[in-house]
Protein backbone atom coordinates (compact mmCIF):
# COMPACT_ATOMS: atom_id res chain seq x y z
CA UNK A 1 0.00 0.00 0.00
CA UNK A 2 1.07 3.61 -0.30
CA UNK A 3 1.21 6.26 -2.98
CA UNK A 4 2.04 4.07 -5.97
CA UNK A 5 0.86 0.57 -5.15
CA UNK A 6 -2.00 -1.40 -3.69
CA UNK A 7 -2.45 -4.76 -2.08
CA UNK A 8 -4.33 -6.84 -4.63
CA UNK A 9 -5.99 -10.14 -4.03
CA UNK A 10 -7.92 -11.93 -6.74
CA UNK A 11 -10.29 -14.83 -6.67
CA UNK A 12 -12.13 -16.28 -9.64
CA UNK A 13 -15.59 -17.69 -9.11
CA UNK A 14 -16.66 -20.12 -11.83
CA UNK A 15 -19.83 -22.04 -12.55
CA UNK A 16 -18.05 -25.21 -11.42
CA UNK A 17 -18.36 -23.73 -7.92
CA UNK A 18 -22.12 -23.38 -8.36
CA UNK A 19 -23.34 -25.86 -11.00
CA UNK A 20 -26.99 -24.90 -10.53
CA UNK A 21 -26.43 -21.54 -12.21
CA UNK A 22 -26.32 -21.06 -15.96
CA UNK A 23 -23.24 -19.28 -17.30
CA UNK A 24 -23.85 -16.45 -19.77
CA UNK A 25 -21.63 -14.02 -21.66
CA UNK A 26 -21.99 -10.76 -19.70
CA UNK A 27 -22.21 -7.40 -21.44
CA UNK A 28 -20.08 -4.48 -20.19
CA UNK A 29 -21.39 -2.34 -17.35
CA UNK A 30 -22.68 0.29 -19.77
CA UNK A 31 -24.76 -2.33 -21.56
CA UNK A 32 -25.99 -3.78 -18.25
CA UNK A 33 -27.02 -0.31 -17.10
CA UNK A 34 -28.55 0.62 -20.47
CA UNK A 35 -30.72 -2.50 -20.48
CA UNK A 36 -31.87 -1.86 -16.89
CA UNK A 37 -32.61 1.80 -17.70
CA UNK A 38 -34.68 0.75 -20.70
CA UNK A 39 -36.68 -1.73 -18.63
CA UNK A 40 -37.25 0.80 -15.84
CA UNK A 41 -37.88 3.77 -18.12
CA UNK A 42 -40.33 2.31 -20.61
CA UNK A 43 -43.93 1.31 -20.15
CA UNK A 44 -44.34 -2.16 -18.60
CA UNK A 45 -45.47 -5.06 -20.78
CA UNK A 46 -49.04 -5.15 -19.47
CA UNK A 47 -51.00 -8.44 -19.61
CA UNK A 48 -54.67 -8.45 -20.57
CA UNK A 49 -55.95 -8.27 -16.99
CA UNK A 50 -53.05 -7.06 -14.82
CA UNK A 51 -53.11 -7.19 -11.03
CA UNK A 52 -50.73 -5.54 -8.60
CA UNK A 53 -49.92 -5.41 -4.90
CA UNK A 54 -47.52 -2.89 -3.37
CA UNK A 55 -46.03 -4.28 -0.16
CA UNK A 56 -44.18 -2.31 2.52
CA UNK A 57 -41.93 -4.55 4.61
CA UNK A 58 -41.15 -3.09 8.02
CA UNK A 59 -39.63 -4.37 11.24
CA UNK A 60 -36.95 -3.86 13.85
CA UNK A 61 -33.29 -3.82 12.77
CA UNK A 62 -32.00 -7.34 12.04
CA UNK A 63 -35.49 -8.83 11.87
CA UNK A 64 -34.54 -10.41 8.54
CA UNK A 65 -36.19 -8.02 6.06
CA UNK A 66 -33.51 -8.37 3.38
CA UNK A 67 -33.32 -12.14 3.78
CA UNK A 68 -37.09 -12.48 3.43
CA UNK A 69 -37.10 -10.18 0.40
CA UNK A 70 -34.43 -12.29 -1.28
CA UNK A 71 -36.30 -15.49 -0.46
CA UNK A 72 -39.48 -14.11 -2.02
CA UNK A 73 -37.54 -12.94 -5.09
CA UNK A 74 -35.78 -16.27 -5.46
CA UNK A 75 -32.40 -14.55 -5.96
CA UNK A 76 -30.02 -12.66 -3.71
CA UNK A 77 -30.15 -9.09 -5.00
CA UNK A 78 -30.47 -7.30 -1.65
CA UNK A 79 -27.53 -7.39 0.78
CA UNK A 80 -27.89 -8.97 4.20
CA UNK A 81 -26.03 -7.78 7.29
CA UNK A 82 -26.54 -7.55 11.04
CA UNK A 83 -25.28 -3.96 10.92
CA UNK A 84 -27.56 -1.10 9.88
CA UNK A 85 -27.53 0.51 6.45
CA UNK A 86 -26.06 -2.24 4.31
CA UNK A 87 -27.48 -0.26 1.40
CA UNK A 88 -27.42 3.52 1.04
CA UNK A 89 -30.81 4.01 -0.52
CA UNK A 90 -34.18 2.36 -0.49
CA UNK A 91 -34.65 -0.41 -3.02
CA UNK A 92 -37.62 -2.23 -4.49
CA UNK A 93 -37.88 -5.87 -5.36
CA UNK A 94 -40.32 -6.96 -8.07
CA UNK A 95 -42.03 -10.35 -8.38
CA UNK A 96 -44.02 -11.04 -11.54
CA UNK A 97 -46.04 -14.23 -11.92
CA UNK A 98 -48.59 -14.75 -14.70
CA UNK A 99 -50.84 -11.65 -14.65
CA UNK A 100 -49.83 -10.52 -11.14
CA UNK A 101 -47.03 -8.24 -9.97
CA UNK A 102 -45.80 -7.75 -6.40
CA UNK A 103 -43.73 -4.67 -5.65
CA UNK A 104 -41.93 -4.86 -2.34
CA UNK A 105 -40.30 -2.00 -0.46
CA UNK A 106 -37.93 -2.70 2.42
CA UNK A 107 -37.49 0.11 4.92
CA UNK A 108 -34.45 1.10 6.99
CA UNK A 109 -34.61 2.83 10.38
CA UNK A 110 -32.76 6.02 11.22
CA UNK A 111 -29.09 5.89 12.13
CA UNK A 112 -26.66 8.56 13.25
CA UNK A 113 -23.63 7.64 11.13
CA UNK A 114 -24.71 9.40 7.96
CA UNK A 115 -27.20 12.24 7.65
CA UNK A 116 -28.03 11.10 4.10
CA UNK A 117 -29.29 7.83 5.54
CA UNK A 118 -31.95 9.37 7.75
CA UNK A 119 -35.19 7.87 6.52
CA UNK A 120 -38.79 7.99 7.63
CA UNK A 121 -39.88 4.32 7.83
CA UNK A 122 -43.51 5.36 7.36
CA UNK A 123 -42.87 7.14 4.05
CA UNK A 124 -43.40 4.17 1.74
CA UNK A 125 -46.63 3.17 3.44
CA UNK A 126 -48.35 6.09 1.75
CA UNK A 127 -48.39 4.20 -1.57
CA UNK A 128 -48.60 0.67 -0.18
CA UNK A 129 -51.56 -1.69 -0.51
CA UNK A 130 -50.40 -3.94 2.31
CA UNK A 131 -47.83 -3.75 5.10
CA UNK A 132 -45.86 -6.81 6.19
CA UNK A 133 -44.54 -6.57 9.75
CA UNK A 134 -41.59 -8.88 10.40
CA UNK A 135 -40.58 -10.00 13.91
CA UNK A 136 -37.56 -12.17 14.74
CA UNK A 137 -38.82 -14.47 17.51
CA UNK A 138 -35.30 -15.75 18.20
CA UNK A 139 -34.29 -12.29 19.46
CA UNK A 140 -34.88 -12.29 23.22
CA UNK A 141 -34.80 -8.50 23.43
CA UNK A 142 -37.23 -7.47 20.68
CA UNK A 143 -39.64 -10.37 20.16
CA UNK A 144 -41.97 -9.46 23.02
CA UNK A 145 -43.28 -6.26 21.41
CA UNK A 146 -43.41 -4.43 18.11
CA UNK A 147 -40.70 -1.84 17.45
CA UNK A 148 -41.88 1.69 18.41
CA UNK A 149 -41.35 2.91 14.83
CA UNK A 150 -43.45 0.02 13.53
CA UNK A 151 -46.26 0.86 15.94
CA UNK A 152 -46.07 4.50 14.87
CA UNK A 153 -46.41 3.54 11.21
CA UNK A 154 -49.36 1.24 11.85
CA UNK A 155 -51.09 3.93 13.89
CA UNK A 156 -50.60 6.49 11.09
CA UNK A 157 -52.22 4.15 8.56
CA UNK A 158 -54.81 2.21 10.56
CA UNK A 159 -56.90 1.31 7.49
CA UNK A 160 -53.98 -0.19 5.57
CA UNK A 161 -54.22 -4.02 5.56
CA UNK A 162 -51.40 -5.55 7.57
CA UNK A 163 -50.04 -9.03 8.25
CA UNK A 164 -47.68 -10.27 10.95
CA UNK A 165 -44.80 -12.55 10.00
CA UNK A 166 -42.95 -14.31 12.80
CA UNK A 167 -39.48 -15.15 11.53
CA UNK A 168 -37.00 -17.87 12.63
CA UNK A 169 -39.55 -19.85 14.64
CA UNK A 170 -37.33 -22.92 14.24
CA UNK A 171 -34.70 -21.21 16.40
CA UNK A 172 -37.14 -20.72 19.29
CA UNK A 173 -36.34 -23.47 21.79
CA UNK A 174 -39.51 -23.06 23.85
CA UNK A 175 -42.24 -23.48 21.23
CA UNK A 176 -45.03 -22.89 23.75
CA UNK A 177 -43.89 -19.26 23.93
CA UNK A 178 -45.25 -18.71 20.41
CA UNK A 179 -48.79 -18.54 21.80
CA UNK A 180 -47.78 -15.86 24.26
CA UNK A 181 -45.88 -13.89 21.62
CA UNK A 182 -48.81 -13.99 19.19
CA UNK A 183 -51.15 -12.77 21.93
CA UNK A 184 -48.82 -9.93 22.88
CA UNK A 185 -48.02 -8.80 19.34
CA UNK A 186 -51.68 -8.81 18.24
CA UNK A 187 -53.25 -7.72 21.55
CA UNK A 188 -55.23 -10.94 21.29
CA UNK A 189 -57.07 -9.90 18.11
CA UNK A 190 -56.53 -11.18 14.53
CA UNK A 191 -58.76 -10.24 11.58
CA UNK A 192 -61.21 -8.58 13.94
CA UNK A 193 -61.70 -11.73 16.02
CA UNK A 194 -60.52 -12.35 19.55
CA UNK A 195 -58.03 -15.19 19.86
CA UNK A 196 -59.22 -18.18 21.84
CA UNK A 197 -56.36 -19.04 24.13
CA UNK A 198 -56.78 -22.57 25.51
CA UNK A 199 -53.44 -22.83 27.26
CA UNK A 200 -51.32 -20.51 29.32
CA UNK A 201 -47.63 -19.76 29.29
CA UNK A 202 -45.83 -20.84 32.44
CA UNK A 203 -45.52 -17.94 34.90
CA UNK A 204 -41.72 -18.31 35.01
CA UNK A 205 -41.50 -17.94 31.23
CA UNK A 206 -43.79 -14.92 31.26
CA UNK A 207 -41.63 -13.25 33.88
CA UNK A 208 -38.54 -14.07 31.85
CA UNK A 209 -39.97 -12.46 28.72
CA UNK A 210 -41.05 -9.36 30.60
CA UNK A 211 -37.59 -8.96 32.11
CA UNK A 212 -35.97 -9.40 28.69
CA UNK A 213 -37.90 -6.45 27.38
CA UNK A 214 -37.74 -4.15 30.40
CA UNK A 215 -35.22 -1.87 28.73
CA UNK A 216 -37.34 -1.46 25.62
CA UNK A 217 -40.92 -1.16 26.84
CA UNK A 218 -42.14 0.81 29.81
CA UNK A 219 -44.89 -0.55 32.00
CA UNK A 220 -48.34 -0.24 30.40
CA UNK A 221 -46.80 0.83 27.08
CA UNK A 222 -48.43 -0.41 23.90
CA UNK A 223 -46.77 -3.61 22.68
CA UNK A 224 -48.89 -4.97 19.84
CA UNK A 225 -51.33 -4.14 17.05
CA UNK A 226 -54.89 -5.53 16.95
CA UNK A 227 -55.37 -4.86 13.24
CA UNK A 228 -53.43 -7.73 11.63
CA UNK A 229 -55.39 -9.71 9.02
CA UNK A 230 -53.22 -12.83 9.08
CA UNK A 231 -50.26 -14.36 10.91
CA UNK A 232 -47.48 -16.34 9.24
CA UNK A 233 -44.67 -18.29 10.88
CA UNK A 234 -41.46 -18.81 8.94
CA UNK A 235 -38.47 -21.03 9.64
CA UNK A 236 -35.03 -19.65 8.80
CA UNK A 237 -34.28 -22.51 6.40
CA UNK A 238 -37.73 -23.68 5.24
CA UNK A 239 -38.56 -22.55 1.71
CA UNK A 240 -42.05 -24.07 1.80
CA UNK A 241 -43.33 -21.57 4.37
CA UNK A 242 -41.95 -18.70 2.28
CA UNK A 243 -43.81 -20.06 -0.76
CA UNK A 244 -47.02 -20.18 1.32
CA UNK A 245 -46.55 -16.51 2.17
CA UNK A 246 -45.80 -15.70 -1.46
CA UNK A 247 -48.99 -17.43 -2.65
CA UNK A 248 -51.00 -15.45 -0.09
CA UNK A 249 -49.50 -12.15 -1.29
CA UNK A 250 -50.26 -13.01 -4.91
CA UNK A 251 -53.89 -13.66 -3.99
CA UNK A 252 -54.15 -10.25 -2.30
CA UNK A 253 -53.33 -8.40 -5.53
CA UNK A 254 -56.09 -6.29 -7.04
CA UNK A 255 -56.80 -5.21 -10.63
CA UNK A 256 -54.42 -2.46 -11.70
CA UNK A 257 -51.62 -1.72 -14.17
CA UNK A 258 -48.14 -3.08 -13.55
CA UNK A 259 -45.47 -0.61 -12.47
CA UNK A 260 -42.50 -2.47 -13.95
CA UNK A 261 -41.56 -4.62 -16.92
CA UNK A 262 -41.94 -8.33 -16.22
CA UNK A 263 -38.15 -8.83 -16.50
CA UNK A 264 -37.34 -6.32 -13.75
CA UNK A 265 -36.25 -7.97 -10.49
CA UNK A 266 -35.00 -4.90 -8.60
CA UNK A 267 -34.86 -1.14 -9.07
CA UNK A 268 -31.16 -1.17 -8.22
CA UNK A 269 -28.65 -0.71 -11.03
CA UNK A 270 -26.10 -3.51 -11.63
CA UNK A 271 -23.43 -1.26 -10.11
CA UNK A 272 -25.52 -0.78 -6.97
CA UNK A 273 -26.11 -4.52 -6.68
CA UNK A 274 -22.36 -5.11 -6.94
CA UNK A 275 -21.43 -2.35 -4.48
CA UNK A 276 -24.02 -3.46 -1.94
CA UNK A 277 -23.00 -7.11 -2.02
CA UNK A 278 -19.32 -6.24 -1.45
CA UNK A 279 -20.35 -3.71 1.19
CA UNK A 280 -22.32 -6.44 2.97
CA UNK A 281 -19.12 -8.42 3.44
CA UNK A 282 -17.25 -5.36 4.70
CA UNK A 283 -19.95 -4.79 7.30
CA UNK A 284 -19.82 -8.43 8.33
CA UNK A 285 -16.06 -8.74 8.78
CA UNK A 286 -14.86 -5.25 9.79
CA UNK A 287 -15.46 -3.87 13.30
CA UNK A 288 -17.63 -0.96 14.40
CA UNK A 289 -17.49 2.14 12.16
CA UNK A 290 -14.63 0.97 9.92
CA UNK A 291 -16.75 -0.38 7.02
CA UNK A 292 -18.69 2.89 6.84
CA UNK A 293 -15.47 4.76 6.04
CA UNK A 294 -14.48 2.55 3.09
CA UNK A 295 -14.92 4.11 -0.36
CA UNK A 296 -15.67 1.69 -3.19
CA UNK A 297 -14.51 2.48 -6.73
CA UNK A 298 -15.10 0.12 -9.65
CA UNK A 299 -12.21 0.30 -12.12
CA UNK A 300 -13.08 -2.55 -14.50
CA UNK A 301 -16.34 -4.18 -15.57
CA UNK A 302 -15.87 -6.22 -18.73
CA UNK A 303 -16.12 -9.62 -20.36
CA UNK A 304 -13.08 -11.84 -19.80
CA UNK A 305 -11.45 -14.17 -22.31
CA UNK A 306 -13.61 -17.09 -21.21
CA UNK A 307 -16.87 -15.13 -21.28
CA UNK A 308 -16.86 -14.48 -17.54
CA UNK A 309 -17.74 -11.13 -15.97
CA UNK A 310 -14.54 -9.46 -14.74
CA UNK A 311 -14.97 -6.88 -11.98
CA UNK A 312 -12.09 -4.94 -10.44
CA UNK A 313 -12.95 -2.74 -7.47
CA UNK A 314 -10.69 -0.61 -5.30
CA UNK A 315 -11.45 -0.35 -1.60
CA UNK A 316 -10.04 2.96 -0.37
CA UNK A 317 -9.54 3.28 3.40
CA UNK A 318 -8.70 6.20 5.66
CA UNK A 319 -5.95 4.76 7.88
CA UNK A 320 -2.97 2.46 7.51
CA UNK A 321 -4.33 0.31 10.35
CA UNK A 322 -7.53 -0.14 8.33
CA UNK A 323 -5.49 -1.43 5.39
CA UNK A 324 -3.92 -4.13 7.54
CA UNK A 325 -7.27 -4.89 9.11
CA UNK A 326 -9.04 -5.35 5.77
CA UNK A 327 -6.25 -7.37 4.15
CA UNK A 328 -5.84 -9.64 7.14
CA UNK A 329 -3.02 -12.05 7.89
CA UNK A 330 -1.40 -13.13 4.59
CA UNK A 331 -4.38 -11.69 2.71
CA UNK A 332 -6.79 -14.17 4.26
CA UNK A 333 -9.63 -11.71 5.01
CA UNK A 334 -9.69 -9.88 1.68
CA UNK A 335 -9.58 -13.26 -0.11
CA UNK A 336 -12.53 -14.47 1.94
CA UNK A 337 -14.49 -11.29 1.17
CA UNK A 338 -13.73 -11.69 -2.55
CA UNK A 339 -14.81 -15.32 -2.53
CA UNK A 340 -18.10 -14.75 -0.75
CA UNK A 341 -18.95 -11.56 -2.67
CA UNK A 342 -18.05 -13.21 -5.97
CA UNK A 343 -20.33 -16.14 -5.25
CA UNK A 344 -23.23 -13.81 -4.41
CA UNK A 345 -22.60 -11.73 -7.55
CA UNK A 346 -22.73 -14.87 -9.66
CA UNK A 347 -26.07 -15.70 -8.09
CA UNK A 348 -27.35 -12.17 -8.76
CA UNK A 349 -26.16 -11.89 -12.39
CA UNK A 350 -26.47 -15.60 -13.34
CA UNK A 351 -23.04 -15.71 -14.98
CA UNK A 352 -19.46 -16.58 -14.08
CA UNK A 353 -17.76 -13.83 -12.08
CA UNK A 354 -14.04 -13.06 -11.71
CA UNK A 355 -13.77 -10.56 -8.86
CA UNK A 356 -10.60 -8.64 -7.99
CA UNK A 357 -10.47 -6.45 -4.89
CA UNK A 358 -7.61 -4.09 -4.10
CA UNK A 359 -7.08 -2.24 -0.82
CA UNK A 360 -5.59 1.25 -1.01
CA UNK A 361 -4.72 3.90 1.55
CA UNK A 362 -6.34 7.23 0.75
CA UNK A 363 -3.75 9.73 -0.43
Which pLDDT tens digit goes with each residue over 210-223?
555 544 444 446 78
Q: Which residues of the chain have pLDDT under 50?
A: 1-26, 108-118, 200-201, 203-209, 214-220
HEC string for 160-202: CCEEEEEECHHHCCCCCHHHHHHHHHHCCEECCEECCCCCCCC
- Residues shown for the chain: 363
What is the predicted pLDDT for the residue at 37?
A: 61
Determine contact, residues 136/171, Cβ cutoff 8 Å.
Answer: no
Three-state helix/strand/coil letters over the chain: CCCCCCEEEEEEECCCCCCCCCCCCCCCHHHHHHHHHHHHHCCCCCCCCCEEEEEEEEECCCCCHHHHHHHHHCCCCCCCCCCCCCCCCCCEEEEEECCEEEEEEECCCCCCCCHHHCCCCCHHHHHCCEEEEEEECCCCCCCCCCCHHHHHHHHHCCCCCEEEEEECHHHCCCCCHHHHHHHHHHCCEECCEECCCCCCCCHHHHHHHHHHCCCCCCCCCCCCCCCEEEEEECCCCCHHHHHHHHHHHHHHCEECCCCCCCCCCECCCHHHHHHHHHHHHHHHHCCCCHHHHCEEEEEEEEECCCCCEEEEEEEEECCHHHHHHHHCHHHHHHHHHHHHHHHHHHHHHCCCEEEEEEEEECC
Domains of the chain: 45-255 (3.40.50.300), 270-361 (3.30.300.20)
Tens digit of pLDDT for each residue in 165-213? 999 998 888 888 899 999 999 999 999 999 876 654 454 444 444 555 5
pLDDT computed for residue 289 by the predictor? 84
pLDDT for residue 298: 94
**Per-residue pLDDT at 2:** 31
Query: How high is the pLDDT of residue 92?
Result: 84
Cα-to-chain-centroid distance, residue 88: 12
Angle between helices 65-73 and 239-252 (to 10 degrees): 80
- Residue 23's contacts (CB-CB under 8 Å, 6 or more residues apart) are 15, 307, 308, 351, 352
Q: What's residue 173's pLDDT?
A: 83
Amino acid sequence: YGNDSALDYILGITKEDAPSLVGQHPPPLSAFKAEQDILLGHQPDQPENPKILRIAIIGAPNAGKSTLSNQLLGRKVLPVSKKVHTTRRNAQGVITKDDTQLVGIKNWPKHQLEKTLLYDPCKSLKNADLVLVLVDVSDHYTRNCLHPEVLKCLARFPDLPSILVLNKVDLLKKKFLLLYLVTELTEGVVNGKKLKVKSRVKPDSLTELTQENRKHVREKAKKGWPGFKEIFMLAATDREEVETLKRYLLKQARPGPWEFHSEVLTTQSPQEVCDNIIREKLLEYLPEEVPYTVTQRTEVWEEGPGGELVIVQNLIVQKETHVKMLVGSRGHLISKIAQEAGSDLMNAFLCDVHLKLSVQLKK
